[in-house]
Amino acid sequence: MITLYGIKNCDTVKKARKWLEQNDVAYSFHDFREDGMSDVPLSQWLQEFGWEQVLNRRSTSWRALSEVQKTEMDNGSAESLASETPTLIKRPVMTKGDNTLFGFKADSYASFVK
């Protein structure tokens, strides 16, 4: 089962959802804002990939952090901050079994969903 995590009004999430639908890929969608963060495997993502890959350092939410927060970032603080401000998470996140993919690129999605 494929799960796509993100925020429904995010342009990149919209592109990913459109790609999945055009390619007849069944998936469930978890909106960080509407569905909450309690069922999001954030700590697992952070353990496996590290905060550098999980957080979007080009986001407005990242730029809003203090310099101290940015320079002292680690997996623990990333989990706390991303739980409170899910727009810090790089979107979309697609999971299939034990596999996870961050962001959207059509070529990567084609390989991932096989």
Phi-psi domain of 43 (left: phi exceeds 0; alpha: psi -120 through 50; beta: other): alpha
Tokens matching residue 44 = 């697992």
Residue 110: per-residue pLDDT: 95
- Right CATH number for 2-112 from 3.40.630.30, 2.30.30.60, 3.40.718.10, 3.40.30.10? 3.40.30.10
- Which amino acid is residue 89, in one-letter code? I
79 among known catalytic residues: no
Q: What is the mean pLDDT of each run of 10 residues along the chain (114 residues)?
A: 96 98 97 95 97 96 97 97 96 96 96 92
pTM: 0.94
Residue 114: per-residue pLDDT: 85
Inter-residue contact 75 to 50 (CB < 8 Å) = yes
- Which is catalytic among the residues 3, 7, 10, 113? 10
